[in-house]
Amino acid sequence: MLSNLPLFPEQAATSAQQVDALFFFLVGVSAFFATLIAVLLVYFALRYRRRSSSDRPKGIEGALGLEIAWSLIPFGLSMIMFVWGARVYVQLRQPPDNATPVYVVGKQWMWKLQHLEGQREINELHVPVGRPIKLIMTSEDVIHSFYIPAFRIKQDVLPGRYTTTWFEATKAGTYHLFCAEYCGTQHAGMIGWVTVMEPADYEIWLSGGLKKSLASAGEDLFQQLGCVTCHRSDSGGRGPALDGVFGKTVSLQNGATAVADEGYLRESILDPQAKTVAGYQPIMPTFKGLVSEEQLLQLIAYIKTLGAPAGGDGATRGAAVPAAAREP
């Protein structure tokens, strides 16, 4: 029933309260000035209406104090909005270093998600309470938009590149997941659920069933595609060694540099001629059409683990672990 529908979604993430506070401030300021202008408009229309054909308005000399006030007050309010909004935006765009990565692929008309531990989901996402989650997202076809109202996060998911967002759930429960970008005839059916679990229950769910971790699947694919023959750890291959490169700056043949992040690795696999690493020849073939978006994520997850410190699990917990350059 309509009477049971909340006016606003439940606040279920650390970002929700900040977003709501900013939203209500913007609405309050807008409502105040809209009401003030409407009231003054009616008052002045009545107070200074022309009462006869002989009425002549008096000359206005101006009021410097009033003009300064109606300039400085809106300016001050706009600066508050700008600084407050920028702060919230920056916080939402910078996931914590210990955020757990989850890979997302949008496709007409479903969400496909992969956890580093190997769990795969469609239109569902299981996460624990109190742990930052970083979503690394791309699309197989058209523009989608990953939207969880209860977390107050929405991020466009684009074909051909990676976008990221993050959240930290604060309440166990089940929350709506939508696509907020019209993506085709069945756009309205591209919905799902985010299940937030207590940490102990989440670990039980995560360990259930036989599965291979994302990095292990990427390692198998790395061997099957023959990448290991050129990208050798001893730097003796025809392509650059991938150990310890992820997150670092790579020198290119044209004198420029690039940061070896997820987008760089993706481009290196699909369009290896775009940025040739200094000291190597542009001989690597393209794998475009040979690997799917899910397989690209598996390869990237594997490359992230190369050169990881002994005993470390940076790929699992989202730290910037070295691991990949690309072949020219």
Q: What is the pLDDT of residue 4?
A: 58
In a 10 Å sphere around its CB, with 0-12 CB exposed, 13-18 middle and 19+ buried, how is residue 26 labelled? middle
Q: The domain 214-317 is classified under which CATH number: 3.90.79.10, 3.90.230.10, 3.40.50.300, 1.10.760.10?
A: 1.10.760.10
What does pTM read for this prediction?
A: 0.78
- CA atoms of 318 and 262, how far apart (whole Å): 12
- CA atoms of 125 and 194, how far apart (whole Å): 5
Locate the domains of the chain by residue range.
7-41+63-211, 214-317
Do domains 7-41+63-211 and 214-317 share one topology? The answer is no
Q: Which is the CATH superfamily of the domain at 7-41+63-211?
A: Cupredoxins -  blue copper proteins (2.60.40.420)
- CA atoms of 60 and 48, how far apart (whole Å): 13
Which helix (DSSP H) or strand (DSSP E) does residue 105 occupy? strand 100-107
Tens-of-pLDDT digits for all 328 residues of the chain?
444 557 778 899 999 999 999 999 999 999 999 999 999 999 988 888 877 777 777 777 777 888 898 899 999 999 999 999 999 999 988 999 899 999 999 999 999 999 988 889 999 999 999 999 999 999 999 999 999 999 999 999 999 889 999 999 999 999 999 999 999 999 999 999 999 999 999 988 988 766 778 888 888 888 888 888 888 777 677 888 888 888 888 888 888 888 888 888 888 888 888 888 888 888 888 888 888 888 888 898 888 888 764 444 444 333 333 333 333 2
In a 10 Å sphere around its CB, with 0-12 CB exposed, 13-18 middle and 19+ buried, how is residue 93 labelled? exposed
DSSP code of 289?
A: T
Q: Which residues sit opposite 196 in a β-bridge?
A: 127, 173
Backbone angles phi, psi at 209, to 5 degrees: 85, 165
In a 10 Å sphere around its CB, with 0-12 CB exposed, 13-18 middle and 19+ buried, how is residue 231 labelled? buried
- CA atoms of 102 and 121, how far apart (whole Å): 11
- CA atoms of 289 and 75, how far apart (whole Å): 53
In a 10 Å sphere around its CB, with 0-12 CB exposed, 13-18 middle and 19+ buried, how is residue 140 labelled? middle
Q: What is the pLDDT of residue 311?
A: 43
Q: What is the pLDDT of residue 40?
A: 93
Which helix (DSSP H) or strand (DSSP E) does residue 10 occupy? none
Q: What is the pLDDT of residue 10?
A: 87
Backbone angles phi, psi at 272, to 5 degrees: -65, -20
- CA atoms of 325 and 291, how far apart (whole Å): 18
Question: How many Cβ atoms are within 10 Å of 115's Cβ, its own excluded?
Answer: 21
